[in-house]
Amino acid sequence: MKSSQTVAPGDLFGADLARAHDELSAPSWLTALRRAGEARFRASGLPTTAQEEWRYTSLAAIAKGGFRWSGGTGAGRDLSSVAASALPALEAGSMRLVFVDGAYAADLSTLGPESGAGVWVGSLAAALAESPPWLEQHLGRYAAPDHSALVGLNTAFADDGALLHLPPGTRLSGPLHILFVAAGACVAAHPRVLICAGERSAATVVEEYRSAAGASTHYNNAVVEMSLGTAAEITHVRLVAENEGGCHTAMVQVRQGADSRYNCHQVTTGGALVRVDTRVELAAPGAECVLRGLYALRGTMHADHHTFVDHASPECHSDERFKGVVDDAAHAVFNGRVLVRPDAQQTVATQQNPNVLLSPDACVDTKPELEIYADDVKCEHGATIGQMDPLALFYLQSRGLDQAAARTMLIRGFAAEIIDGIGVPGLGQRLHDELFGSAPQPSVVAASSGMERS
């Protein structure tokens, strides 16, 4: 029987960090980034509930989980259990980058013709081999290694991930699907996404987290960095559907240029422990961001969504709406911070967080934080926590629907605003079916999944 490792708090992931020194080769600038990230993580370790930002979310499950890094992208992985045909897909012909336990899986991926036309779509590992000049300029710049302990930890292992580089005026003809699949046992992966959108460029990116049917507990610690040039437009869909043993922490850091538009749709439906930080810096006049979110939690799931919209420039708009459906003994946390800096006149900022509790044991902690230092602004916020409307339930039942069907229909209606607003063809229907349909969730693994892993 394997003895569970006891790790001193100061040395969490210590063996893996040491391994990364030996195993990860790279240009010197990246090595320097990794070391800075490692130093940041080692300085404080995982955040604790003693920190205000983490008050409602304990990472003890991660500290005690015994998660081990599965090695760099060259380490090789057994992908036999992950069947390409069973992976969730967007429309036929869509570009798809698939990562298994953090490493790019070329055989499972499909690249479009765009990769030739000045647009760079592909894996970080492949890009490092060619080392285009923009890579060093952007990687680790928006989410810097010393940004936070978790970003530091991710950066210390930075080796692979998804890249999208759009030169000025280019646009992707269809959505890019970035799929991170957890397949191993007790694996810690540190997915990284970098999107550099040049002036007037545009793209839609669907970033999705799934667990293979044979996967046990695992930990994804993701970092997404994004830079939008003048008048660029990025639609970013982020789907977190880890299995019931999956832990997921993520930092989404976006910097927006003048007149750019960032549309973000986050849907969190699975994972034992999920924490997503989304930080959008409206760095130049006329930038606009739309944040939409849905968390649908059941069982004993815990999901914490922290957002921070930084109005650092005048005449910017932010429009945020996160909705929650919380059932059983699940726990949801929402914290929405909006900062309007002194120069950010004529800011328009709205934030809404409606929640529905479906069970007496379900719990929501919601907290809006508005800090406004400019005087010519229009800001509003609201958070509500309610139960299912008994009159609406009766109305549906009086037309012949049984209570279970009526409940599902009402929850579906509540969630529809966010799901239907995603706008990626076929994706809304898939999410509806997964959340509310009788069809089982698509499994990403073939029936005979014999995982072998050292």
Interaction between residue 415 and other proteins (CB under 8 A):
yes
217, 187 Cβ separation under 8 angstroms: no
Instruction: Return the range that interacts with other proteins (CB under 8 A); candidates 276-284, 325-333, 369-377, 407-415.
Output: 407-415
Burial track 366-384 (b if 16+ CB lie within 10 A, e otherwise): bebebebebeebebeeebe
Interaction between residue 450 and other proteins (CB under 8 A):
no
Smaller CB distance to other proteins: residue 398 or 454? 398
Q: How far is the CB of 294 from other proteins (least distance, A)?
A: 12
d(CA 277, CA 143): 12
Interaction between residue 294 and other proteins (CB under 8 A):
no
393: burial class by Cβ within 10 Å (0-12, 13-18, 19+)? middle
Q: How far is the CB of 446 from other proteins (least distance, A)?
A: 33
Interaction between residue 398 and other proteins (CB under 8 A):
yes
Q: Which amino acid is at 34?
A: R
Question: Which residues make Cβ contacts (< 8 Å) with residue 328, sequence separation at least 6?
Answer: 297, 298, 299, 300, 358, 359, 361, 362
Q: If we measure between CA atoms, which residue out of 233, 314, 222, 234 comes closest to residue 268?
A: 222
d(CA 285, CA 427): 33
At 221 the three-state DSSP class reads strand
Q: Residue ranges of the alpha helices (H) in 322-422? A: 390-397, 403-420
**Residue 244, number of CB atoms within 10 A of its CB:** 14
Of 110, 216, 352, 397, the one binding other proteins by CB under 8 A: 397
Smaller CB distance to other proteins: residue 9 or 400? 400
Q: How far is the CB of 427 from other proteins (least distance, A)?
A: 17
Question: Which residues make Cβ contacts (< 8 Å) with residue 276, sequence separation at least 6?
Answer: 238, 240, 248, 249, 250, 252, 266, 268, 303, 304, 305, 306
- By CB under 8 A, the count of residues binding other proteins is 24
d(CA 324, CA 448): 36
Smaller CB distance to other proteins: residue 306 or 430? 430
At 224 the three-state DSSP class reads strand
Q: Tokens 């850091």 appear where?
A: 253
Instruction: Return the range that interacts with other proteins (CB under 8 A); candidates 115-123, 231-239, 311-319, 412-420.
Output: 412-420
Instruction: Return the range that interacts with other proteins (CB under 8 A); candidates 44-52, 114-122, 249-257, 405-413.
Output: 405-413
Q: How far is the CB of 343 from other proteins (least distance, A)?
A: 38
Of 400, 438, 440, 448, the one binding other proteins by CB under 8 A: 400
State which of positions 417-436 bind other proteins (CB under 8 A): 417
Instruction: Return the range that interacts with other proteins (CB under 8 A); candidates 49-57, 109-117, 172-180, 388-396.
Output: 388-396
d(CA 180, CA 305): 20
Interaction between residue 409 and other proteins (CB under 8 A):
yes
Interaction between residue 439 and other proteins (CB under 8 A):
no
Instruction: Return the range that interacts with other proteins (CB under 8 A); candidates 38-46, 74-82, 345-353, 384-392.
Output: 384-392
Of 414, 427, 434, 435, the one binding other proteins by CB under 8 A: 414
Strand ranges across the sheet with 377-387: 103-104, 95-100, 176-182, 202-211, 233-241, 261-270, 288-297, 317-326, 347-357, 377-387
Of 132, 402, 425, 453, the one binding other proteins by CB under 8 A: 402
Smaller CB distance to other proteins: residue 111 or 416? 416
138: burial class by Cβ within 10 Å (0-12, 13-18, 19+)? middle
Interaction between residue 386 and other proteins (CB under 8 A):
no
Q: How far is the CB of 436 from other proteins (least distance, A)?
A: 11
Q: How far is the CB of 57 from other proteins (least distance, A)?
A: 29
Of 83, 392, 446, 451, the one binding other proteins by CB under 8 A: 392
Smaller CB distance to other proteins: residue 47 or 354? 354
State which of positions 64-123 bind other proteins (CB under 8 A): none
Interaction between residue 403 and other proteins (CB under 8 A):
yes
DSSP at 441: P
Q: Which amino acid is at 59?
A: L
Q: How far is the CB of 439 from other proteins (least distance, A)?
A: 16
Of 19, 141, 200, 412, the one binding other proteins by CB under 8 A: 412
Interaction between residue 416 and other proteins (CB under 8 A):
yes
Q: If we measure between CA atoms, which residue out of 251, 250, 189 comes closest to residue 217?
A: 189
Q: How far is the CB of 100 from other proteins (least distance, A)?
A: 36
Binding site for other proteins (CB under 8 A): 389-392, 394-403, 405-406, 409-410, 412-417
